[in-house]
Amino acid sequence: MSEQKTPGAATAGPGRRTPLIIAAVAIVAALGITAAVGLGGDEDKPASSGSAVAEVSGGSDPTVAAVVLDRPFTKPALVLTDTKGEKYDLRERTKGKPTLIYFGYTHCPDVCPLTMSNIAIAKKQLSQADQDKLQVVFVTTDPERDTSAELAKWLPAAGDPSFTGLTGDFSAIQAAARQIGIGIDPPQKEKDGSVISMHGAQVIAFSPTTDQGYVLYGEDTTVEDYAKDLPKIIKGENP
């Protein structure tokens, strides 16, 4: 989980790390061991009953970006509003499709736009048929500022016009994120007017064959990592 301040982007950065899922993933990636990374959920719990055992694809290789979950997450039953102002049922609209889900916000000075850009660049290296299959969903952690119109302006610039941007009730977003092991806190306004948003920076890949989230990527995942793995993700295979 990273701390980022806005609008003071020049001085903002990852800053302190809250020892939640990001710490567990870092240990897994570094040591190639099995670790519990799920934060659990209040409703509609995933198949893992609140936690997912993650193990690094490729054994002890620390250069492998993908964390393959031994017990995949169930896709949240989340209904929000898309960039057109229309209702978007996450499960229904992405059913049977390879899907990447990321929780972030448009005022993020670094990690969020970089993540969207990396995925967009890697996506362009796919065949047109595979590009058409891949769904990328960006769910805001700052719905008060990230309206449908704001997401519609930001996503094409930060990532790709085909990416889906979702906004809505914060409590629903927070609960859905928790169900797939990602912690987010309500944005907090500082005395200097800056806004601190704490959120997990992981991308969860959902299989088109099972509709379960079975692969996790951290914020340091590169274009090359995504480009190498996406063809397999699209087929529902382990990267």
Q: Could you tell me if 139 and 102 are in contact, meaning their C-beta atoms sit under 8 angstroms apart?
A: yes
| Percent of the chain clearing pLDDT 70 (strictly above) | 74
pLDDT for 25 equals 42
**How do residues 211-223 score in pLDDT, each as one tens digit?**
999 999 999 999 9
Q: How far is residue 160's CA from residue 223's CA, in Å, rounded to a whole number?
A: 14
Q: Could you tell me if 75 and 90 are in contact, meaning their C-beta atoms sit under 8 angstroms apart?
A: yes
Q: How far is residue 67's CA from residue 110's CA, in Å, rounded to a whole number?
A: 23
**How do residues 138-161 score in pLDDT, each as one tens digit?**
999 999 999 999 999 999 999 999
Q: Could you tell me if 104 and 212 are in contact, meaning their C-beta atoms sit under 8 angstroms apart?
A: no
Judging by beta carbons within 10 Å of its beta carbon (0-12, 13-18, 19+), is residue 38 exposed, middle or buried? buried
Q: Could you tell me if 47 and 72 are in contact, meaning their C-beta atoms sit under 8 angstroms apart?
A: yes
pLDDT category, 193, cuts 50, 70, 90? confident
Within 8 A by CB and 6+ apart from 231, the residues are 126, 130
pLDDT category, 231, cuts 50, 70, 90? very high
Residue 48 confidence (pLDDT) above 90: no
**How do residues 27-44 score in pLDDT, each as one tens digit?**
333 333 222 233 223 333
22-26, 48-52, 138-142: range with highest mean pLDDT: 138-142
pLDDT category, 61, cuts 50, 70, 90? low
